[in-house]
Chains A and B, each alone.
Chain A
């Protein structure tokens, strides 16, 4: 996984609550066998009209947001299906961080596995950023993971993040590799468990 340390980029203010992962990657793209090629189809049904003509009314197609790398959005982003194709698509489109008042649990986890940083700010802070990003489009933001801050102009917001997730992301560590360091503990656990609940392992 690529490390995430700091990033400065253009903000795309996507003013919608409860955006589900079916919208990010519709079902017809779930038959892929690789993790590649999802950037083009991100938000497919909203982004394209018939014949893959870009829908001029959809914000991703607005010229002022071309090259956006920070997605600003509303509560419960990423609800619904567990498809990791959704964070793959967001990342391959060019997003490095997503800011929202809340995220759905599975989506939130999936982002971290791919070096895409989901940032939770309060409703008020998100409102403020929406106002700024709409009034002064295109607006740039700086996300500093080690400092746990989001900075827009003269204002800076602090965000919380689980310390382990932060360390893994800053270092770009492979979580499977980290877990395999505990191979002895896993083995010992299995042996113990076999004594009390042998049927689990039959």
Chain B
């Protein structure tokens, strides 16, 4: 029998129909939808007189446009309200389970899937959102799709797919103190570039990945798409099974044991071939800060803003020049000399309990610097919010001068009121620093939660290793 990669095993288990030389029809186990990219898909179904084929395998949540302040107040943004109403109506008519903004289980789609145990190893998961790659942390094949494909999955529970190439990413060694999962993935993207993984599905391995908690693995898989690979995965292990046991949608008792026995087979066989391999040494990774307008424009916190002339490729030179102009930065500036206006700790990348605990530990007993106009903590889900409050993290943050908000995508995408104003600079734990991402003409620097917390206290970027980071997961 030929040795297979994890990706190939999951693929083979989901082929409904195939013909040589043609894309296959692939079964989708979990379809996650939200208010942003689903209304046109439901309209399309209606126009053709089609029905949702498996409402029981479809899960809906409101996240992109939800307010993170008091939800008992009426929604002021009428366009957002129309999205919420449309999702509610579509779910009601089709029988799809919806976690609306007042549900205790509401949260960012990629946070609540794992948290509720909807996400399980070996599944195929799709969602009309590129950060669907997050779920790959459980050894699932999970990737983002467009609205037409959302419509296709709603109607058929399948997708027409060609096989991807495979990319092995190994992070050897032990993660140094103060270096988080976010720094690992930023360093990987810095190495391969934002188009480096295009056409591939990535599988992560190596000691530094194995030693990550599920929260950390989700951070890594989440940003896989920023390196161009549509999906990233980590083979499930004891850490995965321990995380899943007892969650609402996970089988229980004898069935859980049977499931685990099957999940244990979800590994890449010895001798299986990958189309490409990338290797990093964890000891060489420093806390990362992006300086430009895509996640590949990143460097260690002890470095300086690069000179466009230091790049060999003319396209990179032009892009760097443009990025520095947009970011209002001068080449050669030490990263730690860059002042920050606002801090955002949240998003599907970094808003889980581990992230909040680490940030809270760092800011406990300290206060946000005077030049910081706003410091936001937006838990990824209401479940995380409740758990954090039980541990008193909300109080630590509030006393340190942070705002403690309700769950949603918030300032990562700025579709609600949480927008970064023009020319202001953020230290953000989100995933994209594209031009205008957090607000028109706004300037985003991507960092880990502890780096964001440290920047809030210092008022500028700072090497988090100067703080007490024994608590950093």
Contacts and interface: CB of A to CB of B under 8 A. Distances in A.
Interface of A: 16-18, 20, 22-23, 26-28, 30-35, 45, 74-76, 79-84, 87, 102-106, 109-110, 113-114, 162-164, 174-176, 178-180, 182, 185-186, 189-190, 193, 196-202
Given A18-B294, A35-B40, A84 B440 contact: no
Contact of A45 (B21, B152, B435): B435
Contacts of B135: none
Nearest to A168: B160
B67 interface: no
Interface of B: 16-17, 21-23, 25, 27, 29, 36-37, 39-40, 43, 48, 50, 53, 56-57, 64-65, 77, 79-80, 82-83, 86, 120, 122-123, 128-130, 143-149, 151-152, 155-158, 160, 162, 194-195, 198-199, 225-226, 228, 230, 250-251, 255, 259, 262, 294, 315-316, 318-319, 413-415, 432, 434-437, 440-441
Given A17-B319, A179-B158, A179-B160, A80 B434 contact: yes
B17 A113 contact: no
A185 B16 CA distance: 6
B435 A193 contact: no
In this complex, which of A20, A33, A174 has the most chain B Cβ atoms within 10 angstroms of its Cβ?
A33
Contacts of B129: 81-82
In this complex, which of A20, A162, A174, A179 has the most chain B Cβ atoms within 10 angstroms of its Cβ?
A179
A176 B251 contact: no
B40 A20 contact: no
Contact of B130 (A34, A81, A196, A200): A81
A190 B14 CA distance: 10
A190 B158 CA distance: 11
A19 to B, nearest CB: 10
A183 to B, nearest CB: 8
Contact of B16 (A79, A174, A175, A182): A182
Nearest to A114: B148
A106 B230 contact: yes
Nearest to B162: A162
Nearest to B150: A84
In this complex, which of B48, B57, B83, B160 has the most chain A Cβ atoms within 10 angstroms of its Cβ?
B160
8 contacts: A79-B195, A83-B146, A104-B198, A105-B199, A106-B144, A110-B149, A113-B149, A197-B262
Nearest to A17: B315
Given A22-B434, A176-B151, A199 B156 contact: no
A109 B146 contact: yes
B50 A176 contact: yes
Given A18-B319, A34-B43, A74-B315, A106 B130 contact: yes
B198 A76 contact: yes
B155 A80 contact: no
A34 B147 CA distance: 11
B40 A33 contact: yes
Contact of A104 (B228, B318, B434, B440): B228
Nearest to B83: A31
A104 B195 contact: yes
A23 B435 contact: yes
A31 B415 CA distance: 8
Contacts of B53: 186
Given A23-B434, A23-B436, A164-B23, A110 B414 contact: no
A119 B195 CA distance: 17
Nearest to A45: B436
B27 A33 contact: no
B51 to A, nearest CB: 11
Contacts of B160: 164, 175, 178-179
Contacts of A104: 195, 198, 228
A22 B83 contact: no
Contact of A79 (B50, B82, B194): B194
A84 B148 contact: yes
Contacts of A23: 434-436
A106 B25 contact: no
Nearest to A183: B156
A200 B441 CA distance: 45
A19 B75 CA distance: 33
Contacts of A114: 148
Nearest to A187: B16
A84 B130 CA distance: 11
Given A33-B39, A76-B228, A199-B259, A26 B195 contact: no
A141 to B, nearest CB: 22
Contacts of B43: 33-35
Contact of B21 (A26, A81, A163): A163
B222 to A, nearest CB: 13
In this complex, which of A27, A163, A197, A200 has the most chain B Cβ atoms within 10 angstroms of its Cβ?
A27
Contacts of B151: 176
Given A80-B130, A80-B432, A179-B25, 15 more contacts: A17-B319, A20-B432, A22-B436, A27-B415, A27-B437, A31-B36, A34-B43, A79-B194, A81-B432, A82-B144, A84-B148, A102-B195, A109-B149, A162-B23, A180-B155
A76 B294 CA distance: 12
Nearest to B43: A34
B352 to A, nearest CB: 21
A180 B83 CA distance: 29
Nearest to A177: B48
Given A175-B160, A176-B152, A186 B27 contact: yes
A83 B432 contact: no
A179 B98 CA distance: 27
Given A105-B199, A199-B255, A45 B440 contact: yes
A199 B251 contact: yes
